[in-house]
């Protein structure tokens, strides 16, 4: 629409890029597809923003929202409860691993991460270890944009405008095996090394100062880094040894994205806190949550105890109703099982692209994949900053969209294309993704 740039300030958008052009405007969605204002159809290869797990056009979710709004549109969870929040908290607790039974609702992922850091600090203050306030996270990892979550984030390019940030956020190596600085021929040894880097960071900072480690099951930024074998087992050992909380940031990786309700279950580790959002409602209403173990709530169960934190719209009645309806869809259609049954086919279809000279690595799990682009497959030479700019923003982003595929061409790290389609996607959608990528990446190679 012509007036989209007059008043609308879009997120993470170079607004000047639309000064002489039209802003793409999406007006409708159905299943795995969306349509723009001109009626053009696109395969949603990113589920909106890793969000629309159940697919577009689910009328039962819209109806659940309308019904709840007609009964109780809003009431806060500040010293009060409402039925949908109670029911949803119970439903989530039944799906989480171990004793993660305490559900603190937010409106999104950044708020959930912020709440987790605050809880870690408050918990240790109340248990006699007030100096434990620092957090460890990985290079290039994205954990949110509020000031605390941004401090935990490992992406310098989106932080510099807002510094100084919250002190005490320490960074360690990520699990990008394709570019492993150590043990590049042995995934298990590399995983041990990467996990031990967390232990070494704790020792450098002083174990009595470190409160938590924040890790995504599959790291998003950089292009979908799965954990090497044994990585999370070793991280759990390290956290236990130093009395440090393990936070599994599953804003993307929960609700079926990796073929389980939670990524921690997929990889067999027990976190102390899970942060979640996005797919919990499949995007039909905003909702997030910090999910904590029973022991972390114990210091707040005294007569005057209180976790002095909250957000106005956390656990909104309409959002909770939508989440419950969303989980009914998950159960009725076994969307989590659908991902497990089809993930090998998705991987195999994407791996066909290995015959292209520009494709260096295809990595991920479930319905969550990154394709790293290279100048030389043999040496794994990547693109410099100017080349990456021209490749991704100068050509690929527009060309893929014009070809009918909505996905992410990103260079937070090395240049990658990221894919995370709705969990309803099947072979026909995998084939369509592969065919569009093949055509556009072939064109991109001729322009280098």
Please tell me whether residues 365 and 250 are part of one structural domain: no
How far apart are alpha carbons 378 and 242 in whole angstroms? Answer: 42
Please tell me whether residues 150 and 281 are part of one structural domain: yes
Please tell me whether residues 370 and 310 are part of one structural domain: no
How far apart are alpha carbons 221 and 145 in whole angstroms? Answer: 14
How far apart are alpha carbons 436 and 303 in whole angstroms? Answer: 61
Residue 21 inside a domain? The answer is no
Please tell me whether residues 328 and 338 are part of one structural domain: no
Quote the pLDDT of residue 6. Answer: 84
Give mean pLDDT, residues 282-293.
98
Please tell me whether residues 380 and 320 are part of one structural domain: no
Find tokens 């000279």 and name the residue: 357
> Any residues with CB less than 8 A from the CB of 281 and at least 6 apart, and which?
61, 287, 319, 322, 323, 326
Quote the pLDDT of residue 264. Answer: 98
The total of structural domains in the chain comes to 2
Rg of the chain (C-alpha set): 22
Final residue of a structural domain among 293, 315, 333: 333
Q: Is 287 helix (H, G, I), strand (E, B) or coil?
A: coil
Query: Greatest CA separation found in the chain?
Result: 69
Final residue of a structural domain among 333, 350, 380: 333
Q: Binning pLDDT at 50, 70 and 90, where does residue 136 land?
A: very high
Q: Binning pLDDT at 50, 70 and 90, where does residue 114 land?
A: very high
Picking from 342, 382, 343, the residue whose alpha carbon sits closest to that of residue 359 is 382
Please tell me whether residues 261 and 351 are part of one structural domain: no
Quote the pLDDT of residue 209. Answer: 98
Residue 36 inside a domain? The answer is no
**pLDDT, tens digit, 9 for 90 and up, residues 398-433:** 999 999 999 999 888 899 999 999 999 999 999 999
Return the CATH number at 397.
Answer: 3.90.1150.10
Please tell me whether residues 338 and 305 are part of one structural domain: no
Give mean pLDDT, residues 377-403.
93
Residue 41 inside a domain? The answer is no
Return the CATH number at 286.
Answer: 3.40.640.10
Please tell me whether residues 99 and 205 are part of one structural domain: yes
CA distances to 53, 216, 253, 424 from 337, rounded to whole Å, are 13, 21, 15, 11
Backbone angles phi, psi at 20, to 5 degrees: -120, 15
State which residues form the domain around 103: 62-333
How far apart are alpha carbons 392 and 398 in whole angstroms? Answer: 9
Q: Is the dihedral of CA 10, 145, 289, 271 positive or negative?
A: positive
Final residue of a structural domain among 333, 362, 381: 333
């Amino acid at each position: 629409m012509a007036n989209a740039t007059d008043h609308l300030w879009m997120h993470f958008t170079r607004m000047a890029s639309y000064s002489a052009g039209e802003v793409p405007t999406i007006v409708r969605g159905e299943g795995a597809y969306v349509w723009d204002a001109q009626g053009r159809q696109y395969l949603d290869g990113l589920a909106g923003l890793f969000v629309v797990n159940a697919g577009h056009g689910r009328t039962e979710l819209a109806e659940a929202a309308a019904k709840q709004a007609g009964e109780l549109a809003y009431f806060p969870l500040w010293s009060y409860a409402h039925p949908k929040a109670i029911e949803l908290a119970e439903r989530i607790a039944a799906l989480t691993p171990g004793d993660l039974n305490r559900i603190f609702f937010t409106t999104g992922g950044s708020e959930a991460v912020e709440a987790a850091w605050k809880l870690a600090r408050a918990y240790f203050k109340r248990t006699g270890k007030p100096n434990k306030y620092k957090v460890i996270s990985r290079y290039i990892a994205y954990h949110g944009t509020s000031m605390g979550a941004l401090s935990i984030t490992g992406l310098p390019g989106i932080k510099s405008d807002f510094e100084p940030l919250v002190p005490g956020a320490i960074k360690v190596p990520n699990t990008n095996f394709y570019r492993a600085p150590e043990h590049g021929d042995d995934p298990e040894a590399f995983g041990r090394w990467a996990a031990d880097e967390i232990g070494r960071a704790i020792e450098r900072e002083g174990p009595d100062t470190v409160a938590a480690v924040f890790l995504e099951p599959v790291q998003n930024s950089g292009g979908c880094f799965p954990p090497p074998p044994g990585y999370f087992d070793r991280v759990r050992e390290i956290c236990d040894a130093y009395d440090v909380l393990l936070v599994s940031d599953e804003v993307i990786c929960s609700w079926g994205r990796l073929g389980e309700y939670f990524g921690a279950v997929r990889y067999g580790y027990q976190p102390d806190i899970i942060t979640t959002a996005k797919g919990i409602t499949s995007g039909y209403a905003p909702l997030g949550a910090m999910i904590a173990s029973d022991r972390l709530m114990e210091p707040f169960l005294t007569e005057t105890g209180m976790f002095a934190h909250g957000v106005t719209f956390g656990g909104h009645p309409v959002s909770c109703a939508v989440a419950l309806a969303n989980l009914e869809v998950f159960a009725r259609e076994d969307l989590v099982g659908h991902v497990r049954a089809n993930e090998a086919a998705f991987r195999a279809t994407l791996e066909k692209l290995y015959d292209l000279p520009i494709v260096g690595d295809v990595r991920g799990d479930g319905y969550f994949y990154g394709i790293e682009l290279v100048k030389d497959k043999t040496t794994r030479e990547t693109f410099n900053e100017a080349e990456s700019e021209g490749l991704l923003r100068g050509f690929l982003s527009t060309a893929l969209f014009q070809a009918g595929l909505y996905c992410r061409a990103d260079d937070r790290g090395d240049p990658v294309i990221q894919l995370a389609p709705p969990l309803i996607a099947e072979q026909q959608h995998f084939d369509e993704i592969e065919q569009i990528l093949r055509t556009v990446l072939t064109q991109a190679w001729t322009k280098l």
